Structure 1
Amino acid sequence: MPMSPIECPKNITEFVRNQGHGVKGLADIGITSLPNQYIQPEEKRFNEQKITLSKDGEDHSIPIIDMSNLEKDEIETLICNAAEKWGFFQIVNHGVPLKVLDEIKAATHWFFELSVEEKAKYLEKNSPSKNVKYGTSFSPDFEKVFEWKDHLSLFVTSEEDALAHWPLPCRDEALEYLRSTENVIRKLCNILMKGLNVHEIDGQKESLLMGCKRMNLTFYPKCPNPELTFGTGPHSDASIITILLQDDVGGLYVRRFDDESWIHVPSIDGALVVNVGDVLQILSNGKYKSAEHLVIPNASKSRVSVPIFVHPTSNDVIGPLQEIIDKGAKPIYKDVLFSDYIGHFFSKPHDGKATVEFAKF
């Protein structure tokens, strides 16, 4: 039974972050107004007037690509065009079973319904593995205003490590989701490289493109004042690509390249959202572009999403691909050690596409 609002903790940071209640704990208490720590300055709040609408009032949408009913060349063209012009697209009939998608969404709910004591076992200070971390917001050590979300971050090293250390309520479902998405991730990376006239992916390039994966089980509790905060602030991902599974609550928005207005990304049953990450923008020397996106929480419903971030290993050096430079293109980006890039990404709050500037000449 929820506690009375008068029992809301005085030390929000201690309650939410250090004790491990998360923002879900605040929602469960039944708070009726957003704590100051989550209220964005007025000039940074999401402006709904900048949402792109069509003449009939329906949201414009990012491309939706059917992976089964088109000729191979046509699918490849659609994917590469979407990566250039939108930085985001959705795929359907991708080969990942609907049952697997439903089960990982359910498992995300199961984990966040655990007791505080059980979840706190996976706080960074308590976790049995550095590859498993339960936390809140994005980078709370550096944020002046926190984001309204909790997450379980699972860094993928080996199945043995996962079996030993991932939380039981979501372990098997998370592993099956990873296995089921492996083929579509590889297919997308191959198609995107082909669009750059890179037809052979050797061991070094495979490490660069798909060397590591990190999966987040993300929970956005219902929020008393969603118009004042972000579930996830405006940012682009520090990945090659991100594969995102979202539920039907909604709240994901993408910024258009042409007029900088925002587009709502509708939930489509069985679809996966794919977006270009900063690293792919750098490798492609700007041909493919990562797009800013954000999440607005919901006033009446909790939302879950499960992104898989596909990225290089920490020892890989990222920069424009040699095949592009050999054809006479002037490099826009310098070579950067990926560990330095990702370290910079997490050393500050979400700040639009500022991180990619870190790699520019």
Structure 2
Amino acid sequence: MPNPSMDVIDFVVSKQNGVTGLSNDFPLQTLPPPYILPPEERLLPGKILCTDQIPIFDVGDWSDARVASQICDAASRFGFFQVVNHGIPMETMDAVTAAARAFYALPSEERRRFWKGNPAAETVFLQTSFSPMAEAVLEWKDYLMFSYDPENDEASSLWPSVCKDQVMEYMKSAQPVIKNLLAILMKNLNVNEIDESLSNSLMGSFKISFNHYPKCPNPDLAAGVGRHSDISAITVLLQDDVGGLYVRANEQEEDDRWIHVAPTRGALVINVGDVLQMMSNDLYKSIEHRVVASGARNRVSVPIFVNPREDAAIKPLPEAVAMTGEAAVYREIVFSDYFSYFFSKGHDGKKTIDFAKIK
């Protein structure tokens, strides 16, 4: 195995093997130095709350006023909730999770074809960590990111054959869930119709990711994903049964305690992103979360990031400003600028949203 830190980075990043290749090709007994977190960033047992505070809602009837009230209350108080009976068939969910595992089981040379910057990586790309050239400590994760266009099935022509059909079927099944969630959240802000302009700002772009966290030799020392909030409008997450997602228990930064979002079969984890927090003028909350890899098993998760179009202008909705009775908290920003800023640095909790705040 490579010993010096730079050799590890060269193998994982420059040679495009990812942490999956590192884990597969070498019998790791200890965590390589580039992945070791400083003590203050580790998720120690004393920081984990035993109580389960992430609510689960049955959304079998999207028109039920009680369901809508529960969703909006959770988006305001917790920023996270789970939904069951959402309409996506269990076999479709199982198939896309199996497809993610199948992709990472491919030989390294097959996976490398899709590495970010390679010719095949036009509407799909493979990357490691988060932003490896900008991070002080690498994350124990690879991810395959798909760009999904519901109006253009040909966008999937370059996707890996081992998972293409499963991703397309899952995304088609997820569209009604996404639209119903956003309609409920907007109606609570006194926005009764999502017109084309608002649709571009809320769900003009869909990204789906196959996140892979290989079995980790020292999971207590590493970050699967560092603490952060998503920059999406909302994120729709499908977990496997391994577990490892943690949500900050209190939005106050000094309260460094975390709640485990235990996997629930058939459930989708929904979280508010920064875009929706900005558009709601802080009525909805994007909350920090993180992932810890397993020391026993490989873990996969499949998030859908429901994003604005790149050129969409994001600012607090007039209806939301009127509801709060306060001035707008955020200035108008172009989503591509916010996106670029997010990826220009390592994960740093909720600090990204400060980029958009009115000083």
> Do they fold alike, i.e. is TM over 0.5?
yes
**Contact 2:78–2:287 (CA<8 Å) still a contact in 1?**
yes
2:348 corresponding residue in structure 1: 351
2: CA distance, partners of 1:325 / 1:81: 18
Which deviations, in whole Å up to 9, do the C-alpha atoms of 1:60-118 show, x marking residues without a partner?
A: 23010011268710000000000001000000000000000000000001101111111
- The answer as to whether partners of 1:8 and 1:31 remain within 8 angstroms in 2 is no
Distance 2:322 2:218 in 1: 52
AA partner of residue 95 (structure 2): E
The question of 1:248 aligning with 2:241 is answered yes
Question: Which residue in 1 is equivalent to 2:179?
Answer: 186
In the alignment, does 2:94 pair up with 1:102?
Answer: yes
Farther-moved stretch of structure 1 (131-140 vs 327-336)? 327-336
For residues 147-203 of structure 1, what are the alpha-carbon distances to aligned partners after superposition, in whole Å with 9 as ceiling and x for unaligned?
001110112235444331111111110011100000000000000001111112111
Q: Give the alignment of 1:33-182 within 5 angstroms.
A: 33-53=30-50, 59-68=51-60, 72-157=64-149, 159-182=152-175
CA distance in structure 1 between the aligned counterparts of 2:129 and 2:178, rounded to whole angstroms: 27
Letter of the structure 2 residue corresponding to residue 263 of structure 1 = I
Q: Which residue of 1 aligns with 2:225?
A: 232
Q: Given the superposition, is the C-alpha separation of residues 232 and 65 from structure 1 closer, same or farther in structure 2, using an over 3 Å criterion?
A: same
1:326 offset after TM fit, Å? 4.7
Matched residues in 1 for 2:154 and 2:278: separation? 31
**Contact 2:113–2:121 under 8 Å retained in 1:** no
Q: Does 1:340 align with 2:337?
A: yes
1:177-216 to 2 correspondences below 5 Å: 177-216=170-209
Once the two structures are TM-superposed, the CA of residue 245 in structure 1 deviates from its matched residue by 0.2
Residue type of the partner of 1:78?
Q
Which residue identity does 1:90 align to in structure 2? Answer: Q
- Cα 1:269–1:175 change in 2 (3 A) is same
Equivalent residues of 1:220, 1:302 under 8 A apart: yes
- Output the CA distance in 2 between the equivalents of 1:49 and 1:257: 15
Match of 1:324 in 2: 320
Matched, 1:307 2:303: yes
Alpha-carbon distance between aligned partners in 1 of 2:3 and 2:170, rounded to the nearest angstrom? 37
- Counterpart in 1 of 2:273? 277
SS in 1 for 2:96: helix
| Contact 2:247–2:289 (8 Å) recurs in 1 | yes
For residues 191-225 of structure 1, the C-alpha deviation after alignment (integer angstroms, 9 at most, x for no partner) is 00011111121110111111001011010000000
Distance 2:152 2:195 in 1: 24
Aligned pair 1:23/2:24, yes or no?
no
The answer to whether the 8 Å contact 1:245/1:273 transfers is yes
Matches of 2:352 and 2:248 in 1, distance apart? Answer: 16
Corresponding residue to 2:259 among 254, 259, 263: 263
Q: In structure 1, how many angstroms separate the alpha carbons of the residues matched to 2:143 and 2:278?
A: 28
Structure 2 SS opposite 1:108? helix
CA positional deviation for 1:128: 2.1
Aligned-pair CA distance for 1:126:
1.3
Length-normalised TM-score, structure 2: 0.94
Secondary structure, aligned partner of 1:347: coil
Distance, in Å, in 2 between the alignment partners of 1:189 and 1:253 is 24
User: For the aligned residues, what is the CA RMSD?
Assistant: 1.5
Q: Which runs of 5+ in 2 are unaligned?
A: none
Distance 1:172 1:71, change over 3 A: closer
Q: Is the 8 A contact 1:8 1:26 kept in 2?
A: no
Q: Quick one: which amino acid aligns to residue 47 of structure 1?
A: L
Q: Match of 1:297?
A: 293
Distance 2:268 2:124 in 1: 24
In structure 2, distance between residues paired with 1:291 and 1:140: 23
CA distance in 2, matches of 1:143, 1:348: 6
- Cα drift, residue 125 of structure 1: 2.6
Q: TM-score, normalised to structure 1's length?
A: 0.94
Deviations 1:4-30 (A, max 9, x none): xxx446511121122222111222221
Structure 1 stretch 316-325 or stretch 142-151: which is displaced more?
A: 316-325
Unaligned runs of 5+ in 1: 1-6, 54-58
Q: 2:53 & 2:20 partners in 1: Cα distance? A: 30
Cα deviation code 1:128-153 (max 9, x no counterpart): 24331111000011011100011101
Residue 288 of structure 1 and its aligned partner are, at CA, apart by 0.1
Secondary structure at 2:165's aligned position in 1? helix
1:360 aligns with 2:357: yes
